[in-house]
Structure 1
Amino acid sequence: MSFQNSDKIEQLKQATPARIGIGRAGTRPTSRELLKLRCDHAAAVDSVYGSVSSGLLAELGLFTVESGAADQELYLKRPDLGRLLPEHSIQLLAERCAPSPQVQIVVSDGLSAGAVEHNLRDIYPALLDSLQVLGLSAGTPFFIRNGRVGIMNAIGDLLRPETVVLLIGERPGLVTSRSLSAYLCYRPRAGMTDSDRMVISNIHQGGTPPVEAGAYIGSLIARMLEQKKSGVGLLL
């Protein structure tokens, strides 16, 4: 199939992974594109309902706690529960985590376990290296199953860190199901909102490379500590 201004179409296709200029067969998409669409959709579903392997968590020294959403169905239907820490998780964190750390690193599957599986081995060591170079210390890292971004507030209330870094799987789409986000907040507490947080999104091999993101997070934390703030009030 031919397009008018085909050179413009090619420029757009080179600039974005979005489905543009894919052609059609009559009134329908081509078989190739339809099958690719179904494949990408299946990958997104698998990532939402998948789980992070215990082997990966053990390899990186992360122990596991749960959010208030006890299972995946409840997590999807009740986002508010993913922002809460149940009593047994509170007790475990109080027992195992160093109190009042300078940087508290937390990992969560969020809406994409696949994002954690594919990126954590690269971004986590890079983040630790960045903190070390900058002379910053990290507390006891851990993994939260079925966590939401707002659970940073509950962690802040419990452990009283200066900063929290939450590495969490993004909602998967039809371009990639492996995208990770890093949320950062200075002294998170109950009542804080998204405007109080920083976010680095689209972390994967086709977006912001995980190693590069890990290094940048360290420098951003240093700036947050220097200015004693995060979110819209932080001067970049």
Structure 2
Amino acid sequence: MNEQLVSMITQLVMEKMGGSTKADAPKNTVTPSEKSKETLSKLDETADNVAHEMPTAAPNDTLIKLYNHASHTQQQSYEPSFGEPADRIAPITTFQFEDDNVSESVQAARKHTPARIGVGRAGTRPKTKTWLKFRLDHAAAVDAVYGEVTDNLLKQLNVFQVTTRVTDKEEYITRPDLGRRLSDESKALIQAKCQNNPQVQIIISNGLSASAIEANIQDVYLALQQSLSNLNIDIGTTFYIDKGRVALMDEIGELLQAEVVVYLIGERPGLVSAESMSAYLCYKPRFGTVEADRMVISNIHKGGIPPLEAGAYLGTVVEKILQYKASGVGLVAKES
């Protein structure tokens, strides 16, 4: 507000309060003195000038505009404290998230691992993009575990399907032992449809990732078939096992008396990839086979070992197993 107007009002109020506190003051003291009259006259004149300068509006609008005008004037006339020149005051900058640029060492590490390193943060929390990617990868992992391989894919591979003693996915997760044994109906079906005493018996299972089979099995299986055919190695009748475990290859080896079993199975999904497949190999797997006798080629997916390359390499490993009549630790010992 106008400082002169405030000063006049304050002076007038003080004079009236001072005159009314005298106990023996005559009644005609209520009448303003000549000085008070002069103050009132100046006050009226100032108010008229303010009203003349402002546009016609409602009383409340006038007060609001007068207040805003005074506040704006105060902001414009603000000077730096302590006599500091205005050009030395640090400019006000808007908040920015952590810079995406990272050190050279972190950039080098990123080239060798898909792990979440150098992703940055916003305060104490991960960035929105990083958090959403994490949630997406977690959802993909859950879908991989609870998903199923499509019938269309099995038809393309020309394989039949058998089951284990597992009844549903929850039981498969909580009872691994049931996933290591075939159902009675499946055993009868395998004996009826499969070749006995094959050199190589190939089996396929979704395991813990149906997505891995859907994404990789065609390239791996066809490349493996071609590789074994070129090496003149006999292949038995391939079939698909729903909800199978790795040790199930022991029962199949016992059932068909296969010389080598190659088990293509979906692996437990992680937050980097939900499509990783592995190939387990064993020479004459039977009940009681120890884990040291098994071999595994893992991390088969587009971000790891390329599926076509993995299939071709598996053929050379099978050839070596047949040559040395051993697998796992036993094969390493004989090779050395």
TM over 0.5: yes
User: How far, CA to CA, are the matches of 1:193 and 1:209 in structure 2?
Assistant: 29
User: How far, CA to CA, are the matches of 2:317 and 2:175 in structure 1?
Assistant: 32
Select the residue among 120, 139, 152 that pairs with 1:42: 139
Deviation at 1:121, TM superposition (A): 1.2
Q: What's the counterpart of residue 328 of structure 2?
A: 231
Select the residue among 193, 198, 204 that pairs with 2:301: 204
Matched, 1:134 2:231: yes
Q: What's the counterpart of residue 161 of structure 2?
A: 64
2:298 corresponds to which letter in structure 1?
Answer: S
Once the two structures are overlaid, the 10-residue window that deviates more, 65-74 or 195-204, is 65-74
The 5-angstrom pairing of residues 121-200 of structure 1 reads 121-200=218-297
Q: What's the counterpart of residue 24 of structure 1?
A: 121
Matched, 1:15 2:112: yes
Instruction: Identify the structure with the greater strand proportion.
Output: 1
Q: What's the counterpart of residue 185 of structure 2?
A: 88
Superposition TM-score, scaled by structure 1 size = 0.98
Deviation at 1:202, TM superposition (A): 0.2
- The runs of 5 or more residues in structure 2 that have no matched partner are 1-97
2:302 corresponds to which letter in structure 1?
Answer: Q
User: How far, CA to CA, are the matches of 1:219 and 1:170 in structure 2?
Assistant: 22
Aligned length: 236
Matched, 1:222 2:319: yes
> Alignment identity in percent?
53
Deviation at 1:60, TM superposition (A): 0.7
**Secondary structure of 2:201's match?**
strand
- The runs of 5 or more residues in structure 1 that have no matched partner are none
**Secondary structure of 2:182's match?**
coil
Superposition TM-score, scaled by structure 2 size = 0.69
Select the residue among 207, 211, 232 that pairs with 1:114: 211
Instruction: Identify the structure with the greater helix proportion.
Output: 2
User: How far, CA to CA, are the matches of 1:44 and 1:4 in structure 2?
Assistant: 30
Matched, 1:6 2:94: no
**Secondary structure of 1:200's match?**
strand
Q: Deviations over 1:179-208 (max 9, x none)?
A: 000000000000112211010000001100
**Aligned-residue RMSD, C-alpha:** 1.2
User: How far, CA to CA, are the matches of 2:152 and 2:292 in structure 1?
Assistant: 35
2:293 corresponds to which letter in structure 1?
Answer: D
